[in-house]
Amino acid sequence: MKTRIGILGMGGVGGYFGGLLAKEYTESDSVEIVFIARGETQKAIAQNGLKIIFSASSLSLGLYESEITVFPSIVSDNSKVIGKLDYLICATKTYDIEESLLSIKKNITKNTIILPLYNGVDAPERISDLFPDNEVLQGCVYIVSMIVSSGVIKKIGTYEKLFFGSRTASITALNKLQSIFEKASIESYLVDTIEETVWEKFIFISALASATSYLNQNIGEILNSQSSRAVYVSLLNEITMIAAVKGHNLPADIILQTILKLEKTPHDATSSMHRDLIAGRKIELFSLTEFVVNEGVKYEIETPTYQMVLDKLSSVLIPN
């Protein structure tokens, strides 16, 4: 019996990691990768495959690009075609969690292990509310990647990391997934303290998404402007206070670590929320900004900078 892995969400994260998995296991007798896609994305991948463009730079070569095209064994949104899944990797936008998962509920058995790779930290609880009998892992990724067009993903820079884990899941099932990732040349880490790891990523992406969207600036512009950098640091201070009050055991220098991490990110890049805002699409305002404000109210922690960002973004676009 093949281990069947579904990839739900063919954007920058799902498309990239799903593409690496499909590249490795297209002809495999032991693992089958299923792309769950609809509309133009499904049509483009079915006809032309999924293209991943790698864009990086070096001192010797300057800016250079390479690409691969992969063809999964299945790309569909039809439950009968998708079939039963052993693992489900979820990488849609956070505002699509409930709708996207319920659309494939027939493919999720009581033994399906679900790995959320979303930007927020509220996904595992929301998924468990939908599927209380399933093992829902925790996970996060660090990567700069985006949709160029239907069926085409571009990854910028060389930095990528995928973290996942669980306090309750079978270690056999976790190790099996880790082995599958490693064979596909995915830099993945199975970690015991996954909740803290996820919150470290959330601190990074929440402050970045909120700052870039509020200021309408990319990473380099924020780092190089004293006033913009002050807004970003203020966001970091507020969200790390929330994390501390919630009892997460984060590094004492988490703010410095986060700033250093940002400085290593391509300076012409920005957050996915900022890209969506510029394009007039739905944005993940609830999971990335409003969630922090709500947690502040819950724990009686002042979050004036997050509130300022929320007020402005709520007025310019309908939040989701």
Output the pTM of the full model: 0.91
Tens digits of residue pLDDT in 102-138: 999 999 999 999 999 998 899 999 999 999 999 999 9
What is the predicted pLDDT for the residue at 225? 97
> In terms of Cα–Cα distance, which of 55, 19, 11, 31 is closest to 275?
11
Between the two ends of the chain, the Cα-to-Cα distance in Å is 40
Cα 71 to the center of its chain, rounded Å = 22
For CATH 3.40.50.720, the residue range(s) in the chain are 3-192
In terms of Cβ atoms closer than 10 Å to its own Cβ (0-12, 13-18, 19+), residue 244 is middle
Confidence class for position 319, pLDDT limits 50, 70, 90: very low
CATH topology of domain 3-192: Rossmann fold (3.40.50)
Predicted confidence band at 63 (pLDDT cuts at 50, 70, 90)? confident
**Structure confidence at residue 265 as a pLDDT band (50, 70, 90):** confident
Average pLDDT, the chain: 95
CATH, domain range 196-316: 1.10.1040.10
The ranges of the chain annotated as CATH 1.10.1040.10 are 196-316
Q: Which residues of 70-83 are buried (b: 16+ CB within 10 A; e: fewer)?
A: bebebbbbeeeebe
Q: What is the pLDDT of residue 320?
A: 44
Q: Average pLDDT in the 279-298 region? A: 96
**For range 251-260, the mean pLDDT:** 96
